[in-house]
Amino acid sequence: MTAHKTYWLEHAWLGTHTEPGVALEVTADGRIAALRTGADAPPPGAEVLRGLTLPGLANAHSHAFHRALRSMVQVGSGTFWTWRDLMYKAAQNLTPERYFALARAVYAEMALAGITNVGEFHYVHHAPGGSPYADPNAMGEALIEAAAAAGIRITLLDTAYLSSGFGEAPSPHQQRFSDGTADAWAERVSGLKPREHALIGAAIHSVRAVPADQLATVARWAEERRAPLHVHLSEQTAENDACQAAHGRTPTQLLADHGVLGPRTTGVHNTHLTDVDIALLGGTSTGTCMCPTTERDLADGIGPAVRLQHAGSPLSLGSDSHAVIDLLEEARAMELNERLSSRTRGHWTANALLAAATADGHAALGRPDAGRLEPGALADFTTIALDSVRTAGALPRLGAETAVFAASAADVRHTVVGGRHVVRDGAHTLVPDVPSALAESIAAVRG
């Protein structure tokens, strides 16, 4: 492979430390060919990235259409369940065309925040009332094309959502989510094909939404394809109570009984777990995707992330409902939430928190070749300013600490995917006016 471009990184986070003066060569097929430290000045012809360059961030859990709910669901009080009613109303207004426009704008917002790969937990499959579109995967294809139009990678986690709760028929709002059976879900999702920027994975919405005798069908589909499998897990105590009543065991135990857990599986939230649950997840190397902003916003609780990681569960991060889109904030929040809960500091190093936002997140989405600045990896990276009002004055050698505990998405200056600029100097190169794109697409969904 021959390099077609060289970037000079003023400072680069290399996983364990921050290195000044790094020359990074990119191949014609969008991978890192070579990385040379000690480059005190830019090589001739190199593209200069001033600030701190990190591997591209991985948003391991997204519901793109939830972006239309930002601020609306902050009025008054309520619970997860009242929030869900507002979410259903937004879902009912989606069409493939509206979803493409909204997701393109949302994914462009992610690129502006340094995110190069998104795990889209996708369950709005059919027309209102449950009738399939002429193309039964029209909604999923809209999301895949939206990611391409916004210049980022996507793992479409096509979601089985069959029941309103432990075998009950879907509610009228949920009919467009359901394929009827897991076999019908598998037949439909098999029509989706991966492409250069898009992988196809699977998801079980929750143990509420997929009957126990059909969990193995979804797990088998993912296993046969070596595909990622994600599941909302123990997000609410009400889910745990209902599962105990229906099956006499916790959701984690139910998933274990039906072969769902394993190293390609990620539990999203994993908030209300027993000691046995934690041992099961860690012992099977099942991942944990924490979404601290959403978990705080919905008053879900603080999950046992430290204990899960110590047990063997790799951690990743997601923006979930998109109350904010800022993976640096999610990394910071995971540590700060734990400090509030335990009244002690320093549960993770800044390097470990960045690993959750980068390499471990990409691995959870089926891309173990991303999230690292090293030869052979995908040339996906992002640069944050070290001269903003948030980051000015920080010691460059403390780059990881600055990124996690001081910077925000507003500090992202460049985002490169496959060696090509998607965000340059804070402006998106493919979506000229992201705020207008968001405003217009959200207005169309709100009706």
- pLDDT tens series, the chain, 447 aa: 456 899 999 999 999 999 999 999 999 999 999 999 999 999 999 999 999 999 999 999 999 999 998 877 777 666 666 677 778 888 889 999 999 999 999 999 999 999 999 999 999 999 999 999 999 999 999 999 999 999 999 999 999 999 999 989 998 989 999 999 999 999 999 999 999 999 999 999 999 999 999 999 999 999 999 999 999 999 999 999 999 999 999 999 999 999 999 999 999 999 999 999 999 999 999 999 999 999 998 888 999 999 999 999 999 999 999 999 999 999 999 999 999 999 999 999 999 999 999 999 999 999 999 999 999 999 999 999 999 999 999 999 999 999 999 999 999 999 999 999 999 999 999 999 999 999 999 999 987
Which residue among 179, 320, 326, 360 is the active-site one?
A: 320
- The DSSP bridge pattern shows strands 381-384 and 412-417 to be antiparallel
Active-site residue 29, yes or no?
A: no
Sheet holding 229-233, edge to edge: 57-62, 115-122, 153-160, 198-204, 229-233, 265-269, 287-290, 315-317
Return the C-alpha torsion angle 333, 267, 105, 424, nearest 10: 60
pTM of the model as a whole? 0.96
Return the C-alpha torsion angle 357, 359, 361, 362, nearest 10: 130
- Number of Cβ within 10 Å of residue 134's Cβ equals 6
Active-site residue 241, yes or no?
A: no
- What is the Cα gyration radius of the chain? 21
Which residue among 269, 322, 414, 421 is the active-site one?
A: 269
∠ CA 337-120-27, rounded to 5°: 100
Residue at 443: amino acid letter: A
